[in-house]
Each structure stands twice: as structure tokens, then as C-alpha cells.
Amino acid sequence: MTASIHAQTNIFWVFNNGLASGWGDYTWAGVANYNSTDITPLQGTYVAKLTVTSPWGGLQPYAINLFDITGYSKLTFAVWPTRDGQTMQTQFHSAGDTAIGQALNIGSYGGNPVKGQWNVYNIPLADFGFTNKIILKFGLQDETGVASNVIYFCNIGFVPTTNPPADPPPALGITTYSNQPVVIFPTASGTGYVVQMTTNLTSGNWVTVTDGVPFTGVKITNAPGTAFFQLH
């Protein structure tokens, strides 16, 4: 098998109104229907219906060519139980049907799912504790131990890792001293920045007037009559 890598600009939906292309089903101790219209999903038309036929059955989508979860941070899914006291766990497997990391009880991530309504879960992939990022499959397992049960799912996917936005440059102030402009710049955040000056905003001709060393103020000598300053 070969690993496929997907763009991480949005959630990758394993199931959302149908199984994703390149994915199949390894459901055990039950029967999966990925085109059920028994209930209304959070979006779209179809839900994934798991009919458990013996204890501990589970819905188990699998990636036909494996799947690289590098760049993703959470497993997300919605569950609609049809019985009270529903409990479930989830776990990943790699190629060769090898369990990786630990199984997690979904009730630890917002409580056990409530009968007759959608319950949304977002489980950090880091909590599974595996280092192999190439997966074959994952299971959503009924933990009630009953011989027959029906559980519905929708919006099963992987949430991409998001990087926090970079801090904006610190404020740059200006004043005058002895008729010369003085640029004011916070000492604590001055490292790594330079101040540039131009006399024409449209020319693109910016001249560096500092060397990136932290400072609280610098006087610009021999400044022209009109000058503009920026951080870079």
C-alpha cells in the first residue's frame, strides 16, 4: 500500500453525506449503512447507520491506500444513540491491522452521548498517544455490551492543525526633538525589527535607519521635510 497525503486547508471528511472517495468499510460485529435516511443529519441527506448484531460491534471506516494524518489535530464526529446509557470508545490501527496508541472513551470528551439527539465530539489525536501518522482505519465501538443496538453517525473527519496568527508588529510612534524627528519604538519588542524611511510612499524606496537593536527612541538626523516610517 502507499500513503496518500491530503491538503489540510479544511476538515477532511471521512464521512459527510457519504463515504469519502478512497475509503471503505471494515465494520465488525454489525452492519454499516452509509446511505441511511432514517434520521436527519447535521448537514446533507445521509447518515451512517451501525446496526450492532453482537456485543462490542463497531463502525470502522478504512483508507484503501492508507491515510497520512500529519497536519491534523482532532478526530471529529457526531453520534445519535437510540438507547439510554450509550457508551463508546475509539481507536486507530495502522497497516497490518496493528493497533496504535490507546483506545479512548468518548465520554471523557464531553460526557456520554445522549439518546435521540446529535452529540458532537472533537478528540485530540495527541491523546491517542501514537507516533505513526500513517493510519489504515479507526473504529467507533459500542461499549454497552448488548447483543443488538442501532447507532447513527455523521460528520466524521479530521480537523486540521491551525497555527495561531503571528503577533502584529509593535506600535511605532514619532515625535520631534530640536526640530528633528524621533521614532519611538518599544524596547522589549525591538529585537529583530528595523525602522525604514522613505519620502515617497509610492516609490518603494525605503531606507533602513536602524539596525534591529532594541531601543526606545532614535533621532533621525538630516531628515527631509516630509518622511514616512515603517517597521520591517
**Does 5 fall in a domain?**
no
Partnered with residue 176 across adjacent β-strands are 181
Partnered with residue 222 across adjacent β-strands are none
Say what the pTM is. Answer: 0.68
Nearest Cα residue to 151 out of 199, 68, 97, 90: 90
Least confident stretch, 10-14, 16-20, 67-71, 169-173: 169-173
Domain that holds residue 182: 173-231
Q: Identify whether residues 95 and 144 lie together within a single domain.
A: yes
Q: Taking 70 as the threshold, does the pLDDT of residue 190 lie above it?
A: no
- Domain edge (last residue) among 137, 160, 183: 160
- How many domains in the chain? 2
Q: Please write the tens of the pLDDT for every residue from 14-24.
A: 999 999 999 99
Q: What is the mean pLDDT of residues 183-204?
A: 57
Looking up residue 143, the CATH number of its domain turns out to be 2.60.120.260
Q: Which residue has the higher pLDDT, 172 or 93?
A: 93
Q: Identify whether residues 178 and 138 lie together within a single domain.
A: no
Q: What is the mean pLDDT of residues 137-142?
A: 98
Q: Identify whether residues 76 and 155 lie together within a single domain.
A: yes
Coil, strand or helix: which one is 66? strand
Q: Identify whether residues 128 and 53 lie together within a single domain.
A: yes
**Does 7 fall in a domain?**
no
